[in-house]
Chain A
Amino acid sequence: MTVTAISTYALSKQFGPTKALRDLDFHVGEGEIVGCLGPNGAGKTTLIRLLLGLLIPTSGRAEIFSLDSRRQSVDAHRRLAYVAGEASLWPTLTGAETLHLLGQVQGQVDPAYRDVLIERFELDVSKRVRALSKGNRQKVVLVAALMTRADLLILDEPTSGLDPLMERAFRLCMSEARERGQSVLLSSHILSEVEALCDRIGILRAGVLVEMGTMAEMRHLSALTVDATFDGAVPDVADVAGVTMVEVHGSTLRCQVQGSVEPLLEALVHSGVRELLSREPSLEELFLAHYGASPSEGRTSNAP
């Protein structure tokens, strides 16, 4: 059996009457970058906190590099680094003190890379955490995790609060991690971020893994929403390849396009289009479109 970075077996967590996670079988291979998508409350953070041993599973178990996430947590934690979406640091410590402390507790730091990261994220480490903005606190947590060069990075919405420039710096770090063969679990609700970085993507909804696959396998999810306004009559595009969910209101048309948009463009080009807008659907729209309002209507999980 090959060693996986993360494996869960029928992992479940219940908070009172709420089933936050149900019988989850989920795997991240070594050197793989896996995204975890889902709306708020889907169970992404619960999954990560179970992996880290911060929560105790109701049933099932999780392994990090074949080490039990509860009983062998210290050994498991030697090989991973974690970034929380909301950084709770000690307000009176400076950035430098925080990085020093967390490095000491981790017991493994690449000082040269740490300095590169501090420069890349333009972090002022002499400031007390109290005086830092949310984004700057997030940078401290990111640097603290990345500077360890751990074998596995577990990132829970790591770019929350970062500006677009810093998001670019983060993506650079991810490609470096890929080159070094580090494994990554990236939880996010930003579709484009996951799309750009991940080899495989899992989708959680109401505590159930409803979809798991490569980006190509998930092509049906990456639909475009097209809004078109016409001078004259709205043409019938329902039979055009890749077009679904056609809605017509007066002189406007809204539809979803999967795969190439070329067939639709060809169909529209002679119909007197006045305006054409296309955008990625939000995750919320996708979930509603593909899985209905409740998870039972969705597909069953198909772990690899």
Chain B
Amino acid sequence: MLLDTRIAVPRTSRVRSTTVIARITGRKAVRSGVGWGLVFALYVAAQALAYASSYSTVAARRLLVQEFGSNVGISALVGPAHQIGTVPGYTAWKCLTVLAITGAVWGILTSTRLTRGEEDAGRWELLLVGQVTRRSAAVQALAGLAAGALSLFVTTAIITVAVGRSSKVGIGSSGAIYFALAIVAGAVMFLALGALSSQLASSRRQAAGYASAFLGASYAIRMAADSSTGLGWLRWTTPLGWVEELQPLTKPNPLALVPISILIGVAGVLVVYVSGRRDLGASVFSDRSTARPHLRLMSGATGLALRLNRPTLLGWTVSIVAYGLLLGGIAKSGGKIMTSSPSIRHVFARLGVTGVEAYLGLAMLIMAMALSFVAVGQISAARKEESGGQLENLLVRPLSRVSWLTGRIVLATGLLVLGGLVVGLSTWAGAASDHADVSLSTMLEAGLNTVAPALLLLGVGVLALGLVPRAAVPVTYAAMVWSLLVELLGGLASLNHWLLDSSAFHQMAAAPSVPINWSTNAIMVSIGAVAVLIGVAAFKRRDLKGE
């Protein structure tokens, strides 16, 4: 509305309407960038301050270096641990990979939403009829995204510098700024790649899918590079590897900024080039306008949902299997080093688990997060069918709202359970290939264990869908991110137990390193089920809502 009135003002219209896409994109990107900059910086602050107080003695720090300093399994998961006997070294190790991946996901979601999402919704069509060409629209969108990236960096840097000045932490200003740059490098690269895939794909979902697949591949290659000393050069072939090579706060290597800058620049140029060559709403990949009918799944709403979700689900399955094999494959060495310290070995022995199982428990946490992403994705797909108006085509026919939503929930639940079994099976297969001693049934149970938090989040999503449809997707993502942050921070920052308890991932016992807590899982699933019941009842009683 604001936009319309501004364009209608004749005196300023020429200047303003030609930059309107840049301003709209910029406004949204900056808002998001500042918010996430705060999250990033607080995460850094929490890690640095918690380390300074938890490992205040030299002996405690030496023990930490001994346990984690050269642990292949851990370095495969979150990157190699350089100088973790110092506050800066430890902070860099704990933050860099985690925030690079979080930032990359943010970058993909933000740029595909603000470019392809806006285009899919038809809003660009209104703006492109004036003097604005497609190329200039693309340049403007990139400018808006750049503003978002800058705001992310500035917010992160300011707080990181402030935290660094604390006497307990002791990180210099230039080091802190370079560290902030390294943290947001992943976000900026994937912001650019998301914009590029938005030009190549034929919908926002597909664009996010392509970019996520690239992120998954990048993580997997980096994992391989960090799990074997002979493969270290592989780090130079992947964006997440470059971030690691920046080595902030330990052995800064600004040379890695070169490939990062080149990637961002090339992606930007390609975005502008491709945008001028394709039709609005069309794609470069797989844009066949005709197709032979495939009717196998098209007998009802749930079959349709499965059919429309197939590419996304295939992507997730491939990623989960790949991670499972990789994580399982390095379980033996990971577990061995994990139990090199006698005190820790003693703890594990008391719990009745082997080192391999302890390591795999940590790996399962990552799988639980992946499954939660699938759960939130299912909520997002259901909401999109409603807001996009497609759902009406089904509900004006003899299909009740309850049947439609129940079908969606059953489908999502089935997929998650199946996903849990795939997690267990692939991790077991990886471990078995490495001759690690872990049984199939243990791993299948551990895999199923990761489904519980995802089902809880699915329930939260359905509840939001029923009560606050327009906010359902952000609310569900927020619940997931909250669980994630609390779990990641909880280990060190000695958080209040009420706070810790609010994280679905914290509730899940990290089997097989600890025994599965079936009763907690039952409680999580029950809460999810109650949320589903309330959500479905509310959905039955409300108006269908567009965007």
Contacts and interface: CB of A to CB of B under 8 A. Distances in A.
B541 A128 contact: no
B11 interface: no
B299 A56 contact: no
Contacts of A49: 544
A68 B438 CA distance: 60
A107 B299 CA distance: 10
A175 B389 CA distance: 30
A45 to B, nearest CB: 12
Which label, helix, strand, loop or mixed, suits the secondary structure of the B interface? loop
Interface string A76-94: 0110101010101111101
Interface stretch (A96-104, A161-169, A252-260, A271-279): A96-104
Contact of A90 (B281, B290, B308, B396): B308
Nearest to B294: A97
A89 B393 contact: yes
Given A53-B395, A100-B295, A105-B300, A94 B290 contact: yes
Nearest to B403: A74
B342 interface: no
Contacts of B389: 84, 86, 88
B394 interface: yes
Interface string A119-160: 000001111101100000000010010000000000000000
A244 interface: no
B202 A130 contact: yes
A101 B304 contact: yes
Contact of B392 (A54, A126, A128): A54
A122 to B, nearest CB: 16
B291 interface: yes
B443 to A, nearest CB: 36
Contact of A126 (B281, B291, B397, B399): B291
Nearest to A50: B543
Contacts of A106: 397-398
Contacts of A117: none
Given A88-B389, A128-B290, A54 B543 contact: yes
A100 B296 CA distance: 10
A105 B293 contact: no
Contacts of B294: 97
A130 B289 contact: yes
Interface size of B as a range = 20 to 34
Nearest to A105: B397
A127 B399 contact: no
A75 B398 CA distance: 7
A4 interface: no
Contact of B544 (A54, A77, A130): A54
Given A100-B293, A127-B290, A105 B399 contact: yes
A104 B290 contact: no
Interface string B342-353: 000000000000
B301 interface: yes
A42 to B, nearest CB: 19
Contacts of A248: none
Interface size of A as a range = 35 or more
B497 interface: no
Given A54-B543, A56-B541, A90-B308, A97 B388 contact: no
Interface string A218-231: 00000000000000
Contact of B397 (A92, A94, A102, A131): A102
Contacts of A102: 393, 397
A88 B397 contact: no
A41 B293 CA distance: 39
Contacts of A144: 393
Contact of A55 (B292, B308, B543): B543
B130 to A, nearest CB: 21
A245 B147 CA distance: 60
B298 A100 contact: yes
A50 B392 CA distance: 12
A89 B308 CA distance: 12
Nearest to A84: B392
A208 interface: no
Nearest to A80: B396
B197 interface: no
Interface in B235-282: 281
Nearest to A86: B389
A52 interface: yes
Contact of B291 (A53, A74, A100, A128): A128
B303 to A, nearest CB: 8
Contacts of A100: 293, 295, 298
A301 interface: no
B12 interface: no
A73 B298 contact: no
B547 to A, nearest CB: 11
B291 to A, nearest CB: 5
Contacts of B202: 91-92, 130
Contacts of B300: 101, 104-105
Contacts of A107: 397-398
Interface of B: 202-203, 281, 288-295, 298-301, 304, 308, 388-390, 392-400, 541-544
Q: Which 7 A-B pairs have the closest CB atoms?
A: A88-B389, A131-B289, A96-B293, A82-B396, A101-B298, A126-B290, A105-B397
Given A52-B395, A89-B393, A127-B289, 11 more contacts: A54-B543, A54-B544, A56-B541, A86-B389, A92-B308, A94-B290, A94-B291, A101-B299, A104-B298, A126-B291, A126-B292
Interface of A: 49, 52-56, 73-75, 77-78, 80, 82, 84, 86, 88-92, 94, 96-97, 100-102, 104-107, 124-128, 130-131, 141, 144
30 contacts: A49-B544, A54-B544, A55-B544, A56-B542, A77-B397, A77-B398, A80-B396, A82-B396, A84-B392, A86-B389, A88-B390, A89-B390, A90-B390, A92-B202, A92-B308, A97-B294, A97-B298, A100-B295, A101-B298, A101-B300, A102-B397, A104-B299, A105-B301, A105-B398, A106-B397, A107-B398, A125-B293, A127-B289, A128-B291, A141-B393
